[in-house]
Amino acid sequence: MIDDFTRKEIEKISHNILKESKSFDIFPTPVDKILSYSDFALDNKIDLQNIDDSFFDSFKEKLVDPSKKALMHALSKIKGFFYREEKTIYIDAELDKNLGKKNFVKLHEIGHGVLSWQNEVILALDNDETLSEEYDEQFEAEANYFASLTLFQHDRFLEECEKLSLGLGAVMEISKKFGASVHSSFRNYVLQSKNKCALLVLNHPVNKNGFVNTLTTRDLFYSKKFLEEFGELQLPDEFGFKWSFVQDFKFKKKFHENGVISLNTKEGEDLKASYHFFNNTYNSFVFFFPKGEKNRAKTKIILK
């Protein structure tokens, strides 16, 4: 957890960098411009899955276990890392296939570099676990908070949300505007929303015959107003075929905004809700909100 004082310090640093680099209100968020202002070099040509042995030598002494085996184990899993002595950020070349994730990883590594109290971190190795915005190790959580704030330009994100109708279609448009991943955009949308809404993120389990009919919970997020009105939902960790959004997944629906569902709260109340569904091949996203909940859109979205 990040305490309130540290959170405010990160907000000040992020705001100053966006302002001084003249990145506020530039869309998509100009991450490379921010990187240049921060005075770090970037190396994004490395295939971290197939690194030449000689690359390891200069990093061995930076690990608690300086063996080549330990370093290879660490590097085989990471998406990016920051090396303070060379003021260099390394990004896995494979992230070229996912611009939103690549932008977040860059800003996460910049965070390690610009948060002055992290100066003791000489080598920061980051994988999918540490890059999760729910990861709670102190320095990684701080770098993730910096990355999210900066990518979504502080209050600019909520301002854009309020222009659009309630739903995943709006968030997909916002993710393009800021240059962010859909997953990160969905999460921030719900956590910052002034509406009553919740987001269920589902894993896609597989066996040797392909995808199975059971989806498992990866994340569950609630807006503040949802929790105030209903509390948490009573949901299982695994969802079988009786759930309509699992049927959406199994019948290969990519996206829709016309789901209707009955849910139970942990207080035992029945909630009649609408839901939107999106499958990005990696995860399925189910966006819940009570029937009748809506925004008055100021901008019309046309999905292509």
Map out the domains of the chain with their CATH numbers: 4-151 (no CATH), 156-290 (3.30.450.130)
Instruction: Write the CB contacts of 234 (distance below 8 Å, at least 6 apart in sequence).
Output: 263, 264, 265, 266, 268
Residue 188's CB is within 10 A of a number of other CB atoms, namely 24
Tell me which residue of 130, 134, 92, 94 sits closest to 112, measured CA to CA.
130
Task: Report CA torsion sign: 210, 212, 217, 221.
Answer: positive
Quick one: pLDDT at residue 81? 87
Tell me which residue of 51, 123, 119, 48 sits closest to 83, measured CA to CA.
123
Residue 118: both structure tokens together: 């992290």
- Distance between CA atoms of 90 and 236, rounded to whole angstroms? 39
- Series of mean pLDDT values for 10-residue runs along the chain (304 residues): 94 98 98 97 78 61 52 67 91 91 97 95 84 91 97 96 92 96 96 96 83 89 97 96 95 95 96 97 95 72 52
Helix (H) / strand (E) element for 91: namely: strand 88-92
Quick one: pLDDT at residue 239? 96
Amino acid at 241: F
Quick one: pLDDT at residue 45? 78
Quick one: pLDDT at residue 64? 42
- Distance between CA atoms of 76 and 51, rounded to whole angstroms? 9
Give, rounded to a whole angstrom, the gap between the first and last alpha carbons of the chain. 39
Q: For residue 94, which phi and psi values (nearest 5 degrees)?
A: -65, -20
Quick one: pLDDT at residue 62? 58
Three-state DSSP at 199 gives strand
* Total residue length of the chain: 304
Quick one: pLDDT at residue 89? 95
Quick one: pLDDT at residue 220? 97
Quick one: pLDDT at residue 206? 81
Indicate the pTM of the whole model.
0.88
Quick one: pLDDT at residue 65? 47
Quick one: pLDDT at residue 166? 93
Please name every residue paired with 127 in a beta bridge, in sequence order, or none if there are none.
78
- Strands 270-279, 255-264: pairing kind: antiparallel
Quick one: pLDDT at residue 61? 59
Quick one: pLDDT at residue 241? 92
Preceding peptide of 28 cis, ω within 30°:
yes
Quick one: pLDDT at residue 73? 55
